[in-house]
């Protein structure tokens, strides 16, 4: 249950390294890889610029370290939601909730990843390693209902639901006008959560009617 990034310490420890990682987390999440300079990170962390290189070798490696923390936390979150004996429908709802809970705790995560998918092919293998286990959970959850191939294969649902969850956050700033306010405000998020559960049910209902 303890999937918070703050509580996990990957590679380098020590106060200095941690404060750099924390600063990098905040800045990269807000402005992406290219929008942030090493100087920015060092200043926000309150350390000497050269120390960033001493601890993380390069800006890209620092970015990877930030991503890695999220990756582990994200995977752990979905894993624990999946590993229950609950029936299918309930398991799906747990996955949706786990996904939303994780992002609500780590709001910068979707933007961070999105900024890499478009623009930094070098990071694609990294993201693929990240995505795969989560896809396996979805696939396992739908086994029996969803065929292995064709337009009802699990991968389509994985994409539909991931997109519906993630874009809630990445698109939030531009959706504000048609939402009549911040789509990430607590009430709006609760409503969106309700909708996503409804969506999962609607997809399951459709799948059950269609020939699996």
Partner DNA sequence: GATGAATGAGTATTCATTCAT
Partner DNA sequence: TATGAATGAATACTCATTCAT
Residues that bind a copy of itself (CB under 8 A): 31-32, 34-35, 111, 114-115, 117-121, 124, 127-128, 131-132, 135, 150-152, 155-156, 158-160, 162-164, 166-168, 170-171, 173-179, 191-192, 194-195, 198-199, 201-203, 205-206, 210
Question: In 10 A of CB 123, how many CB atoms?
Answer: 19
Shortest Å distance, C-beta 122 to DNA: 12
Q: Which is nearer to DNA, 60 or 191 (CB)?
A: 60
Work out which of 30, 60, 104, 132 binds DNA, going by CB under 7 A: 60
CA distance 43 to 39: 6
CA distance 168 to 192: 8
Give the CA radius of gyration of the chain.
19
Q: Which does 119 bind (CB under 5 to 8 A by kind): a copy of itself, DNA, none?
A: a copy of itself
List helix spans (H) across 37-87: 38-45, 49-56, 59-82
Work out which of 18, 31, 38, 193 binds DNA, going by CB under 7 A: 38
Instruction: Decide if 74 contacts 109 (C-beta within 8 A).
Output: yes
CA distance 108 to 42: 19
According to the binding rule CB under 7 A, does residue 53 interact with DNA?
yes
- With contacts defined by CB under 7 A, name the span among 49-57, 64-72, 121-129, 148-156 that binds DNA: 49-57
According to the binding rule CB under 7 A, does residue 206 interact with DNA?
no
Task: Write the CA distances from 102 to 5, 17, 31, 60, integer angstroms.
Answer: 10, 24, 20, 24
Q: Which does 37 bind (CB under 5 to 8 A by kind): DNA, a copy of itself, none?
A: DNA
According to the binding rule CB under 7 A, does residue 128 interact with DNA?
no
Six-digit token string for 178? 């048609």
Shortest Å distance, C-beta 50 to DNA: 3
Residues 6+ apart with CB under 8 A from 181: 188
List of residues contacting DNA (CB under 7 A): 12, 14-16, 36-40, 47-54, 57-60
């Amino acid at each position: 249950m303890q999937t918070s990034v703050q509580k996990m310490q990957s590679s380098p420890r020590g106060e200095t390294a941690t404060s750099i990682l924390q600063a990098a987390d905040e800045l990269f999440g807000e402005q992406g890889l290219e929008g942030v300079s090493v100087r920015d990170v060092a200043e926000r962390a309150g350390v000497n610029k050269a120390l960033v290189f001493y601890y993380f070798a390069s800006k890209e490696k620092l970015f990877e370290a930030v991503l890695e923390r999220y990756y582990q936390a994200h995977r752990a979150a979905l894993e624990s939601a999946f590993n229950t004996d609950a029936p299918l429908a309930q398991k799906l709802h747990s996955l949706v909730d786990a996904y939303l809970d994780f992002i609500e705790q780590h709001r910068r995560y979707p933007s961070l990843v999105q900024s890499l998918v478009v623009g930094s092919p070098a990071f694609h293998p990294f993201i693929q390693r990240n995505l795969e286990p989560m896809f396996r959970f979805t696939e396992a959850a739908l086994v029996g209902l969803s065929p292995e191939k064709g337009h009802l294969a699990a991968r389509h649902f994985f994409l539909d639901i991931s997109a519906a969850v993630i874009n809630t956050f990445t698109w939030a700033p531009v959706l504000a006008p048609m939402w009549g306010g911040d789509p990430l405000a607590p009430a709006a998020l609760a409503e969106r959560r309700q909708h996503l559960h409804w969506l999962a049910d609607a997809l399951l209902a459709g799948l059950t009617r269609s020939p699996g």
